[in-house]
Amino acid sequence: MSLSVTDLTFRYGRRQILDEVTFDVASGQFCALLGPNGSGKSTLVKAIAGVHRPASGTVTVDGTDTATLGRREHARVVGYVPQHGDAPFDLTVREAVVLGRTPHFGLAPTTQDWAMVEDAIERMGLGDLAERSMSELSGGQAQRALIARALAQDTRVLLLDEPTSALDLRYQIETLQLVRQITREQGISALIAIHDLNHAARYCDQVVVLHGGHILTDGTPQEALDAPTLRDVYEVDVEVHLREGVVEVRPRIDEHGYTLTGSQIGSLADAHVAFDPADEPVGARR
């Protein structure tokens, strides 16, 4: 197992955000982290990235507990791509990507560091834009520069926090395909927090559904994405189909073009809303 998260718990003050989260992502696997707003996706990604310190629980990479690593060592093992990277100062794409080498070099980047940077830029298809200023890039290009930065960091684990949320369809698909390709080629473990269920089903090998700080399901897209769970988590009446071997999730529409949401879900005859108290959001239980 490459990335292994065990009993990870995180609190903001007295509010519990993550409650004993446990899951594994194998090497070469691309795992989607799903869940509604406020379910703790972003917090989980940041806790694994070392941005937040968890209250308890362990994160291991290739068998090494990351809590035993120093800051720089940790940064050489786990890479993180934030949702967006708004810099208040202008810098070129190359300058932005070399930031990923921060945990690797001393005072100045070496020839090898620059080679890694150039390689990451080429992989992300930014070769012609390396000298451009970041502020001139489109949203999709800027997002690819952030991923290139994480690639230059050369880590065993790649974490992405909703990198596709602000992108148009083409860049969403390109980004996901690139990450999947890199994951397979490099044999790294990738975890992506994402909102689009169908993208997750199509491009990821594994799906973890987070709800109120708990993991509800964890498995292949077919195993993890079933209609009752999704209705329960998102409070939207959905139907799940298998289309050409890929799971597809759609809101169920009645003859008036209306989809049941929120508390209306309870009136469904086939809702299967089996409400185990343990599944109730931690935030609600307090």
Partner 1 sequence: MTATATRRTRPSPPPEPAAAPDRARRRDAGKLLLILGGTVLSALALVVSVTIGTVGIGFLDVVEAVRLRIFGGTLEADFAQAYAVITELRLPRVLLAFIAGAALSVSGVLMQGLLRNPLVSPFTLGVSPAAAFGAALVITLAGTNQLSPWATIGGALVTSLAVSAFVLVLASVRRMAVATLLLLGIALTQIFEALTSALQFTASENTLQAIVRWTFGSVNDATWTDVQIVGAVVLLALPVTLWFSKDLNAVAFAGDDAARSFGVNVGVLRVGLIGLAVVLAAVVVSFCGIIGFVGLVGPHIARLVIGADHRHLLPFAALSGGLLLLVADAVGRTVIAPAVVPVGIVVAFIGGPMFVYLILTRKNALK
In the numeric block, which tokens belong to residue 83? 């949702």
Amino acid at residue number 73: E
Number of residues interacting with partner 1: please give it, by CB under 8 A.
Answer: 59
Asked if 13 interacts with partner 1 (CB under 8 A), we say no
Whole-angstrom distance, CA of residue 172 vs CA of residue 268: 34
Asked if 248 interacts with partner 1 (CB under 8 A), we say no
Backbone conformation region of residue 75, classed left if phi is above 0, alpha if psi is from -120 to 50, else beta: alpha
Pairing mode of beta strands 15-25, 3-12: antiparallel
Tell me the HSE value of 284 on the side-chain side, using a 13 A CA sphere: 10
* CB 104, min distance to partner 1, A: 9
Asked if 89 interacts with partner 1 (CB under 8 A), we say yes
* CB 214, min distance to partner 1, A: 24
Asked if 198 interacts with partner 1 (CB under 8 A), we say no
Asked if 255 interacts with partner 1 (CB under 8 A), we say no
Q: Which residues contact 127 (CB under 8 A, 6 or more apart)?
A: 121
* CB 267, min distance to partner 1, A: 36
* CB 91, min distance to partner 1, A: 5
Which alpha helices (H) appear in the chain, and where do they start and end?
Answer: 41-49, 71-77, 93-98, 111-123, 139-153, 169-186, 197-203, 221-224, 227-234, 282-285
Asked if 63 interacts with partner 1 (CB under 8 A), we say no
Give me the phi and psi of 66, to 5 degrees please. Answer: -70, -20
* CB 12, min distance to partner 1, A: 12
Nearer residue to partner 1 within complex by CB, 198 or 264: 198
Whole-angstrom distance, CA of residue 282 vs CA of residue 18: 8
Region from 19-27, 119-127, 187-195, 265-273 binding partner 1, contact rule CB under 8 A: 119-127
- Tell which positions 93-112 bind partner 1, by CB under 8 A: 94-96, 99-100, 102-103, 105, 107-109, 111
Q: What residues make contact with partner 1 under the rule CB under 8 A?
A: 46, 49-51, 70-76, 78-80, 82, 85-92, 94-96, 99-100, 102-103, 105, 107-109, 111, 114-115, 117-119, 122-125, 130, 133, 135, 149, 153, 173-174, 177-178, 181, 185, 202-203, 244, 246
